[in-house]
Structure 1
Amino acid sequence: LYGTCSSGTPDCFFLPITNCSIPSKVDGNQTIHINANVAQWSNPIYPPIFQNRTFNWFRAQLLFYLLRYKPQILTHVQDTIAQYFKPSSIELHHPFIALYVRRSDKVTSREMSQVYSLKQYFDLFDADARKANIRNIYINSEDQQIFNEFIQLNKEKNGYYNLLSIQARKNVVFGSLTNMPKEERGQIVLEFLTDLYIEANADLHAGTLTSNWCRLVDEMRLTLGKISPYYTPENRYLVDMPM
């Protein structure tokens, strides 16, 4: 996933967790390691100091910390946005909605019960967007067809929405990503990180509940204090899937 980066770790894209070594004792107290990669859904483990917080809150805070972009990655993301957004700064496009539409392998693997049309997503937030006078929308999807759907749908809405997008490769899912050459994988990950930056900074977010990507965006937004409604056409979580 790290392209040609020599370290082959998340440090290729994100700031290191710490520049300090881990001592065996802190203030005379023995430090402990918590194995948090076991039963993370049914019996989550997190530091006692945060026991009065929900696990979702802790996970979102930890995730936000781990995904702090390195300066050169942030520069790349901002340069990409400047290349495709007119005007070039994301701050000049507020308020805007970010929409992620997941299809393809999520449907064939039955993690999603069906393919949802773009109209089904728009029907969830269109009234709220008009009340708030939000016209800009950023659309992200692995399905290239979604942009043709937007053109037709926006005609029916008399051109109300202004589309924001970046040039990125489509039809990329985890299985195809891991089979790509290193150089190509690295470029795709940079596109993902640009998408993440844009969607996390949106004023409203709509997406696909069973998508890991949408849950990632939602947790990043939670840490940023964006607790506005989350719009999704689905009514069940991945953990509700029949075995």
Structure 2
Amino acid sequence: LYGACSSSTPDCFFLPITNCSIPSKVDGNQTIKINANTGHWPKPILPPIFQNRTFNWYRAQLLFYLMRYKPETLAHVQNTIALYFKSPSIDFHHPYIAVYVRRSDKVRSREMSQAYTLKQYFDLFDADARRANISIIYINSEDEQVFNEFAQINKEKQDYYKLLNIPVQRNVVFGSLIHMKSEQRRKIILEFLSDLFIEANADLHVGTLTSNWCRLVDEMRLVLGKTIPFYTPENKLLMDWRRRK
């Protein structure tokens, strides 16, 4: 999964969890390792200032910490933005809206009840985007057809929207990713991390919460303080889908 990186761990792309080493003994006592899996901490002690935080808040904070980009990763993302967006920083494009359209295997596996057209996404946010004077849009999808749909929609809207886009390999899902050669996987992962950076920093975000990717982006945005509504054409969350199985 981590390409040709020698460590074969998330440290290939993200900062290490800690730079501290674990001594074999402390004050003459042998240290032991305890797996912090679910069930080991039935009554966690929470810092008083965070007593009223939800489980999702804690999960989002932990995820954000674990996925802090290494300087090399961040430099790659910023160079990608500078190359394809014709500006040195994503900050020059605010305000913008990011749209993630998930289809393919999610529909085949019935995690998504259907594949939604791009127009169904646009119908959710178009009025709000216009009221907020947002005309820049970033679209991410594994389905190349989505960009043809955008061209038609934008034509009907008198070219109101300016498209931001990174030319990446499409039709990549987890099943195909893990069967790629190591160098190709690394390239795809860096493309994913570029997408993640752009979507997490968007002023508005649109997607489907049955998608692991959209939930990841949503949690990243929560930590960044972006608490505005999430636009989705689905009428259920993942927990609803699980409950019915």
Q: TM over 0.5: same fold?
A: yes
Structure 1 match to 2:84 = 84
Task: Give the length in aligned residue pairs.
Answer: 237
Question: Residue 175 of structure 1 aligns with which residue?
Answer: 175
- Tell me which residue corresponds to 1:10: 10
1:48 to 46, 49, 52: 46
- Identity across aligned pairs (percent)? 69
Write the mapping of 1:120-135 to structure 2, written as runs, cut at 5 A: 120-135=120-135
Q: Could you tell me how far apart the structure 2 residues matched to 1:160 and 1:227 are?
A: 26
Per the TM alignment, residue 25 of structure 1 is displaced from its structure 2 partner at its CA by 7.0
Contact residue 96 and residue 202 of structure 2 kept, 8 A: yes
> Which letter does structure 1 place at the counterpart of 2:87?
P
- Aligned pair 1:96/2:82, yes or no? no
* 1:10-89 aligned within 5 A: 10-22=10-22, 33=34, 35-36=36-37, 38=38, 48-49=46-47, 50-89=50-89
Q: Deviations over 1:7-59 (max 9, x none)?
A: 00000000000000246779xxx9984634x48xxx99865335431111111
Deviations 1:39-85 (A, max 9, x none): 8xxx9986533543111111111111110000011000000111100
Rounded Cα–Cα distance in structure 2 between residues aligned with 1:143 and 1:86: 24
**Residue 136 of structure 2 aligns with which residue?**
136
Paired with 1:199 and 1:167, the residues of 2 have a C-alpha distance of: 15
Report the equivalent of 2:160: 160
The amino acid of 2:46's aligned partner reads P
CA–CA separation in structure 2 for the residues paired with 1:17 and 1:62: 10
Q: Contact 2:154 / 2:161 at 8 angstroms: preserved in 1?
A: yes
Q: Which moved more, 1:15-24 or 1:212-221?
A: 15-24
Where structure 1 has 5 or more consecutive residues not aligned to the other structure, the ranges are none
Looking at structure 2, the residues matched to 143 and 215 of structure 1 have their Cα atoms a distance apart, in angstroms, of 19
CA contact (8 A) 1:116 1:233 kept: yes
Bigger mean CA offset, 13-22 vs 101-110: 13-22
TM-score of the superposed pair, with normalisation by structure 2 = 0.90
Q: 1:187-206, aligned counterparts within 5 Å?
A: 187-206=187-206
Residue in 1 that maps onto 2:105: 105
Q: Residues 231 and 18 (structure 1 numbering): CA distance in 2 closer, same or farther, change over 3 Å?
A: same
